[in-house]
Amino acid sequence: METLRISATINRDGRLKIDIPTPLTEGEVEVVLTIEKRKKPVYTYDFSDLTGRLKWNGDALAAQKAIRNEW
């Protein structure tokens, strides 16, 4: 059994055409097709209202360097 994952586009007439080479030999095969509609990520929160409101105690640059040096 082979599993193939591809991205495809549905034509205006509602047809999906798949033409891909496979390592399978000639003969009849059973094809199972699962269609997932792609969803664009939804960004629901705008962080601009926090601009200038967060206060940092200490040296922000030194804190960043310390975190980076942990790796």
Q: Where are the domains of the chain?
A: 1-53
Residue-wise pLDDT tens digits, 18-70: 888 888 888 888 888 787 787 888 888 888 887 877 778 888 899 999 999 98
- With 0.85 as the threshold, say if the pTM is over it: no
19-44 b/e with 16+ CB inside 10 Å = b? eeeeeeeeeeeeeeeeeeeeeeeeee
